[in-house]
Chains A and B, each alone.
Chain A
Amino acid sequence: QSALTQPPSASGSPGQSVTISCTGTSSDVGTYDLVSWYQQHPGKAPKLMISEVNKRPSGVPDRFSGSKSGNTASLTVSGLQPEDEANYYCTSFAGTNNWLLFGGGTKLTVL
């Protein structure tokens, strides 16, 4: 059982928007604005898509956006494209001892 809870799957048609949730607790997501999102294609390393809840690294399309409300963070992918099909993982800072928690991942399917 992962420390952060994500839905196992999500899907959408090309051009549509999809939102993936990431639920933690008041000890991690709810307290710190240090939530990140990663995209991972099969056999590849994860790629940072969002850091600090809603900041996009250089080169990440603005179709990807992040937000947070209470103990739940969200990743929204707008204008879905076939290459967006991948697994998505969230992380959250959880204090000095636990430091970083991962979600179990969400497989995004572009129909």
Chain B
Amino acid sequence: QVQLQESGPGLVKPSETLSLTCTLSGGSISGYFWSWIRQLPGKGPEWIAYIYSSGITNYNPSLKSRVTISVDRSNNQFSLSLNSVTAADTAVYFCARIINAVAAFDIWGQGTLVTVSS
């Protein structure tokens, strides 16, 4: 059974970089698209970025200037980096698998709350 687990600091200071890793178990990262999604408090989710196992990426235009997504196939992981964070980036961050060519997320991590505060 494929499972995803997010990991990373739960507290980040303003202006610093938020870094999260998603680890896949029970399957292979190869041959799929993988994504980061966030959900601000009390709001709907927001797609951040996706990456194919080969390294092809795509970013939400509203966040593109601050975001980097990367993949580590040897460790079955992919990562998110969001720089110059502010309180407005406080959210639950989810990683998820994308069903190829369907633009839908079929497997999600449990999510991790990241608070931006000094």
* Interface SS of chain B: strand
Task: Give complex CA distance A96, B56 in Å.
Answer: 13
Is B104 a contact of A51 with CB atoms below 8 Å?
yes
Partner of B58, one of A48, A96, A101, A102: A96
Determine the interface band of chain A, counting residues with CB < 8 A from chain B.
20 to 34
Is A89 a contact of B44 with CB atoms below 8 Å?
yes
Is B108 a contact of A36 with CB atoms below 8 Å?
no
Task: Give complex CA distance A99, B103 in Å.
Answer: 8
A30 contacts B by Cβ under 8 Å: no
What residues of chain A lie closer than 8 Å to B61, measured between beta carbons? Answer: 97-98
Is B110 a contact of A45 with CB atoms below 8 Å?
yes
Q: How many residues of B contact A (CB 8 A)?
A: 20
A12 contacts B by Cβ under 8 Å: no
Partner of A102, one of B46, B94, B109: B46
What residues of chain B lie closer than 8 Å to A103, measured between beta carbons? Answer: 44
23 contacts between A and B (CB under 8 A): A34-B102, A34-B103, A38-B105, A45-B94, A45-B108, A45-B110, A46-B105, A48-B104, A51-B106, A92-B103, A97-B61, A98-B61, A99-B47, A99-B50, A99-B58, A100-B103, A101-B47, A102-B45, A102-B47, A103-B44, A104-B44, A105-B43, A105-B44
Interface residue ranges, B against A (CB under 8 Å): 43-47, 50, 58, 60-61, 94, 99, 102-106, 108-111
| 3 A-B pairs closest in CB distance | A45-B108, A51-B104, A93-B103
